[in-house]
Structure 1
């Protein structure tokens, strides 16, 4: 009888072994899957987030009813400097208080004189008398006469007490085409001027610019 009981117990244990082996295999498989999932989860957490660049935006121009694109309006820069034309209106001009512009005369000139009528060309009769010659800040009085200067074919001229060296030596004058020419006692040309409006402009022999009004 004892032998039978031992054989029955062994038989029961032999039947249980395959079941235990299967359970152990399933347990090991579950642990392996858990380790893989945990490992993958750790790797996923280590991935750095992808950085995206900034996106710029701009305003699109409006589209008209016929499909045309209207130009965008620009805003003027308040710090931009005005151009020279905006500052002075015109080149070489000076803005007046009333909004008009006055053209500045060249250096060494005076505004047009209205005392003489020089229209229709220049003649000896129109040039007779006293004139004011201007060179920079210096002014001289020039006298043109119709008295012939002997041996020259010209008329007498003088510039008494003139501080301009080139003009102080004037002794005669003449008209040569459209020019008024001034000469010294040595018959050397000391100045030549041409008509410009109601005045004459020209240069002395040394190159100094002058104007003559009367």
Structure 2
């Protein structure tokens, strides 16, 4: 009898979990819309709860802080670092992995690349709020730390070996510049179609630099040249 009850409860638990995730995503989507329209600092959690037709307590059941409402995919992004690294193709190095996934993100218009409509509004919302700016930096550090840990484990680097941390910092710094450039050009009025060729060309140059190094980049011209 107990086993029969357990079997009956499995689909119910699955349904409850799906509903919880749907509720969480709906609250986050409504909150993000309010933040991007009115500014993060001008919206309260009570405003979000009212717009989502839930109680303030319900909001905090799903999100620990107001910032979590905006960065609702933070945990998902950190987990994705490990998943992509472990599932990379045989023989694929870390730069090749990030090149491939970044270009795939451009093809798909992923939020991870900013190559989609509305990315400039998202970035302005972050830059206008000290709290979101701080959280964005925190997320960036989490991503770098996650990759550095994976690289150290993969290569057997010791705790005093800075190479994994330097590699992770270089990759995320380069990728961050690409993303910021897209958002800046969108904010200046360019369309995705207008910047598309430049975006892909810039990505190719940047990942080539990561792969081959910058030792011969920008040498000082000899006198008279």
The normalised TM-score by structure 2 is 0.20
Q: Which structure ranks higher in relative contact order (CA pairs < 8 Å, sequence separation ≥ 6)?
A: 2
Higher strand share: 1
The structure that has the greater radius of gyration is 1
The normalised TM-score by structure 1 is 0.21
Higher helix share: 2
